[in-house]
Structure 1
Amino acid sequence: MDRLSRLASAGIPFLFIISYDKSEVIVRPLDALGNIRVALHQTPAIKPETPPAPKKQPVPFMKYKEAFDQVIEEIKAGNTYLLNLTFSTPIHCSHSLEEIFEMANAPYKLLYKDRFVCFSPEPFIKIENDVISTYPMKGTIDASIPDAEAKILANEKEMAEHVMVVDLLRNDLGIVGREVRVETFRYIDRIVTADKTLLQVSSRIVAKLSPDWPARLGEILDEMLPAGSITGTPKRRTCEIIETVESHKRGFFTGVFGVFDGKNLESAVMIRFIEKTEKGLVYKSGGGITIDSDAEAEYEEMLDKVYLPI
């Protein structure tokens, strides 16, 4: 983390990639990325004639429900109120990770060697003009459902989940900044995939930083990670429960990556994530669990998030 602060203080543009548990931190000057590729808000380089849809081999529902039920018991015991439960779904796709990177239509894209590709719709933090912003994303619905937008915004379970994440991120920003406020509460993003369109609910929270924030960048990120939107609340205890209930190691999935351009910073949460393993490709995805969650609905949401945004 210290290297981020040193480079930012010197005004040197760089890319950073931080794993979920912060055990791996990769920092590269933008003029020395080698076989790492990053794209922020760029039009896809390839437009496929036939949009590819990955063939999924999902975890059986009963295995998912076993972990889900453990989470519900932890909630009933008062150990967590919201926990983001994730699984790995083996997929078959005829395209390489590089081709997926080129085709994916997403605001935040990262290709790390031939190891993983990420095409995230969720910003983590932005810093511009000494103002830090974060954008928690909670709540997903199939846009083809009649009155989908009204239904997702009126859903009490989704509202409760979103409010908890917003409160958690307000607290995180309060640790590193001042004058924290929720600037926009629960707006809708539309995400087009190969086989459906999804609506996702986000909020925008802002705070002020002191002008010397580049010298504290490593500290700021260390304080805020892992991201509250992909852990839960209370964060520390919830992370401990995640370690016991999830059947995979997250690795870089649900970590963050970002670019410091010499003055400002923009970053994203590493969701919508495909990783190459010895047994083939796996797509890691999940969703937030609260006391009002329904196991079948959460299972379907987890699988809905296994898509390529083309």
Structure 2
Amino acid sequence: MQKLFISLPGNSDYKVYTSDSGGGFAFRFSSFEGHEEVNLKMNQTNDESFLSENLGGQHFNIPTHEEYVKLVENTVAHIRKNDLGKIVMSRPQRFDKIIEPVLVFKKLVEAYPTACVYLFTHPEVGTWMGATPETLLSKKGDVLKTMSLAGTQKKGEEDKFTGKEKIEQELVTDYITEILNSEKGVEGVKAEGPIIAEAGNVVHLKTAIEATVQGSFNLSSLIKKLHPTPAVAGFPKKEALEFIKKNEPYKRSFYAGYFGLNQRTDAHYFVNLRCMQVFHDSVVLYAGGGITRDSNPEAEWEETENKMQTLLQVLK
């Protein structure tokens, strides 16, 4: 069974899609590294049933608090030694809890109307669910929109943003605008911000980026150039990806990858953040943070804890 439940940002309702070779919607679910990808034709359905056949058992390393702090320490040292800008380091956390995926999805839709909330189940990739605050790319007619989302503080502590978070944000903004400006068929790139944007129980620095497109524009090509952005990988990208591959003690799989739904001239793609993988007897949540030369390892651990609360508050 292949089924998608999705609520786009700003909506209080949701739609359900099921795989159909003649479907009018195209859905893509891509992993962080891009080596795994599911592409489906889908049609809308009223069938909200969920079968547990796509809930497997999880078998991968879960780093401890001490291990993650040490990983961040090593990352900071590597950044300073090699004069790099930023590397995003992440971690999974398992919770021994049996859930009803559709029920939790509906609670997430109610709790986070400004996020893209989704539930996707597939026999090969399992069952994933999340409430992501980050648009990778959206297209409506000839208008293209994306965002730079980086830098994190707890809600209520917006005044604690420092130079570290502002530099993180600028790196992502510059990366995205440079790619858009160099892309064939993209014109009039504009960036506005940053502003403070809420995402669950944390806030981020956000810059809205907009452009127009014409006939020679290729959406799939642009997405592959953009992803992974410095918001989920780091900068310079090549060096950051190499370090992540060698040092993160687990495989990200579809965490920090992207997913999107296309129909005719419209498309909506999102970065797979604030997400979890659902198993028969547990759920695994994922979170990461942008590490720079000024990062505090304990504060970075705390940031991942705060990000996981977006889903944990609903699971409780």
User: Given that residues 140 and 200 in structure 1 are in contact (C-alpha distance below 8 angstroms), is that contact kept between their aligned partners in structure 2?
Assistant: yes
1:229-261 per-position Cα deviation (integer Å, ceiling 9, x unaligned) = 101111112111110111111111101111112
Q: What's the secondary structure of 1:230's corresponding residue?
A: coil
1:236 pairs with 2:238? yes
Structure 1 residues 185 and 293, CA, compared in 2 at 3 Å: closer, same or farther?
same
Give structure 1 stretches of 5+ with no counterpart: 1-10, 38-57
Shift of 1:171: 2.3
| Matching residue within 143, 161, 173 for 1:166 | 173
User: Given that residues 19 and 255 in structure 1 are in contact (C-alpha distance below 8 angstroms), is that contact kept between their aligned partners in structure 2?
Assistant: yes
Shift of 1:273: 1.1
1:101 counterpart residue number: 105
Shift of 1:278: 7.6
1:99-248 to 2 correspondence within 5 Å?
99-104=103-108, 105-106=111-112, 107-113=115-121, 115-144=127-156, 148-152=157-161, 155-177=162-184, 178-179=186-187, 181-192=189-200, 197-213=201-217, 216-248=218-250
Q: Give the TM-score of the pair, scaled to structure 1.
A: 0.78
- What code does the residue aligned with 2:258 have? V
1:92 pairs with 2:74? no
Cα RMSD (Å) of the superposition? 2.7
2:80 counterpart residue number: 76
Q: What's the secondary structure of 1:77's corresponding residue?
A: helix
Q: What's the secondary structure of 2:303's corresponding residue?
A: helix
Aligned residues: 270
User: Given that residues 24 and 43 in structure 2 are in contact (C-alpha distance below 8 angstroms), is that contact kept between their aligned partners in structure 1?
Assistant: no
Percent identity of the aligned residues?
21
1:45 counterpart residue number: none
Q: What's the secondary structure of 2:99's corresponding residue?
A: coil
2:18 counterpart residue number: none
- What code does the residue aligned with 1:263 have? T
C-alpha separation in 2, matches of 1:242 and 1:261: 34
| Matching residue within 264, 267, 270 for 1:268 | 270
Q: What's the secondary structure of 2:264's corresponding residue?
A: coil
User: Given that residues 191 and 209 in structure 2 are in contact (C-alpha distance below 8 angstroms), is that contact kept between their aligned partners in structure 1?
Assistant: yes
Structure 1 residues 24 and 59, CA, compared in 2 at 3 Å: closer, same or farther?
closer
| Matching residue within 58, 61, 68 for 2:65 | 61
Q: What's the secondary structure of 1:136's corresponding residue?
A: strand
Structure 1 residues 70 and 198, CA, compared in 2 at 3 Å: closer, same or farther?
same
C-alpha separation in 2, matches of 1:34 and 1:25: 26
C-alpha separation in 1, matches of 2:289 and 2:188: 26
C-alpha separation in 1, matches of 2:89 and 2:25: 35
Shift of 1:79: 5.8
- What code does the residue aligned with 1:243 have? K
1:251-288 per-position Cα deviation (integer Å, ceiling 9, x unaligned) = 11101111112111111100011113587321010110
User: Given that residues 170 and 180 in structure 1 are in contact (C-alpha distance below 8 angstroms), is that contact kept between their aligned partners in structure 2?
Assistant: no
1:47 counterpart residue number: none
C-alpha separation in 1, matches of 2:175 and 2:222: 16
Q: What's the secondary structure of 2:285's corresponding residue?
A: strand
1:12-46 per-position Cα deviation (integer Å, ceiling 9, x unaligned) = 43221111111122222231789999xxxxxxxxx
Give structure 2 stretches of 5+ with no counterpart: 1-22, 50-61
Structure 1 residues 22 and 256, CA, compared in 2 at 3 Å: closer, same or farther?
same
- What code does the residue aligned with 1:125 have? L
